Amino acid sequence: MLDLKFPYGISDFREIIKHNYFYCDRTDKIHMLEKDKFQLFLRPRRFGKSLLLSMLENYYDVAKKDEFDALFGRLKIGTRPTTLRNSFYILKWDFSCVDPSGNPDQIRSSIHDHINERIKGFVLYYKNYGLPEIEINNNYTRKTCLESA
């Protein structure tokens, strides 16, 4: 008997594949996505937008090149990958962790801190994957950000 596990509430593609959850394979659509100049994903809540982005992140991330067969080998795109697979540095934003409470300056500060942390993490994550050296200006303060807004 097949023990089919459904990934309810899981939007991490890598976790779904690694733990053998059910995955509705639509990776063959990547070819179409690469041909179109603009994409717009309109879906109701809980209809897989985050999972789609997670799948694309894993497909295009240069740091996950060694995992390609493990992640995509059983899927449609695994048999006929595009030339762009695993060729990009992925800078991921998650503004759900930004505190929306407080006055506008506090919110702006929270957004500023999140962006800076993500950029620092991005540079550290990709330093061994050919990312050109990037100088991070630690003198760019919230005040400077507010003055330029």
- The reported pLDDT for the residue numbered 42 is 81
Give the number of C-alpha atoms closer than 13 A to the C-alpha of residue 29, restricted to the C-beta side: 8
Split at pLDDT 50, 70, 90, the class of 123 is: very high
For residues 27 and 99, the model is more confident at 27
Query: For the whole model, what pTM was predicted?
Result: 0.82
Q: Do 5 and 20 touch, CB atoms closer than 8 A?
A: yes
Split at pLDDT 50, 70, 90, the class of 63 is: very high
List of residues 6+ apart from 20 with CB closer than 8 A: 5
**At residue 46, does pLDDT exceed 80?**
no
In the chain, the amino acid numbered 47 is F
- The reported pLDDT for the residue numbered 141 is 52
Q: With 0-12 CB in 10 A as exposed, 13-18 as middle and 19+ as buried, what is 130? A: exposed
Backbone φ and ψ for 21, nearest 5 degrees, come out as -75, 160
- The reported pLDDT for the residue numbered 138 is 56
